[in-house]
Amino acid sequence: MPNTPQPKIDVPDHVQDAIRTLLEWAGDDPNREGLLDTPARVGRAWKEYCNGYHEDPGVHLSRTFEEVGGYHELVLLKDIPFHSHCEHHMAPIIGKASIAYMPTDRVVGISKLARVLHGYARRLQVQERLTAEVANCIYDHLKPEGVAVVIEAQHGCMTGRGVRTPGVGMVTSKLLGCFLDDQSSRKEVMSLMGY
Ligand SMILES: [Zn+2]
């Protein structure tokens, strides 16, 4: 999913000052040449990392198609890469999501599922909430028979600091409707997702 480049916005002085303070706190000299433009760049980068705050991801699901040609099997978008940031450390969360739903009478363009994911990922998050928000949004807007969302991600706050365990992925899932209630539907979707 290409990210729309942000226009070069002005970063207010108080925001740049905050980033200078952080650079100093980290042990560097914010006045050295290599760091002079960093506060403005970081300010702009954070606006972009968090541009999900400016949208309601549900809007991507407002245009649906009712003519599905008698297709009443599950729709799955697998291994969608995404970036987010954890709300505890503002450290990167890098992972992939698989999103499935069992349509009743309407479907959406498949890329819209990824847009919903990015709309919630581009905020400060915890992985469990991200997983639930994506699933609930699809469930509420499409009213399908079921939704399944599985997210597998690595957390910068775990791989780069603290216990420092690179390569460890965290898996979260949210199942709703038929995928929650019906064991064979659940087995089918999980095996198609590769779990
Ligand atoms: Zn964290």
User: Tell me, what's the pLDDT at 77?
Assistant: 96
Q: Which residues are annotated as a binding site?
A: 86, 89, 157
Give pLDDT tens digits for 18-32: 999 999 999 999 999
Q: Where in the chain is the domain with CATH 3.30.1130.10?
A: 64-193
CA 161–ligand 1 middle distance (angstroms): 9
How much of the chain, in percent, has pLDDT values that exceed 70?
94
Local confidence band at 70 (pLDDT 50, 70, 90 cut-offs): low
User: Tell me, what's the pLDDT at 68?
Assistant: 65
**DSSP sequence for 22-56:** HHHHHT--TTSGGGTTHHHHHHHHHHHHTGGGG--
Local confidence band at 159 (pLDDT 50, 70, 90 cut-offs): confident
| Cα(85)–Cα(122) distance, integer angstroms | 8
Q: Is the pLDDT of residue 141 over 80?
A: yes
Give pLDDT tens digits for 74-91: 999 999 999 999 999 999
**DSSP sequence for 57-113:** GGGGGSS-B---TT--S-EEEEEEEEEEEETTT--EEEEEEEEEEE-SS-B--THHH
CA 44–ligand 1 middle distance (angstroms): 21
Residues classed as catalytic: 86-89, 127, 155, 157
Written as six digits, the tokens of 143 are 């009213």
User: Tell me, what's the pLDDT at 137?
Assistant: 98
Average pLDDT, the chain: 92
DSSP state, residue 132: H
CA 52–ligand 1 middle distance (angstroms): 19
Local confidence band at 105 (pLDDT 50, 70, 90 cut-offs): confident
Strand partners, 180: none
CA 50–ligand 1 middle distance (angstroms): 16
State which fold the 64-193 domain adopts: GTP Cyclohydrolase I, domain 2 (3.30.1130)
Residue with tokens 């760049």, as numbered in its chain = 41
CA 169–ligand 1 middle distance (angstroms): 13
- Tell me the whole-structure pTM to 2 decimals: 0.91
Q: Which residues are annotated as a binding site for Zn(2+)?
A: 86, 89, 157
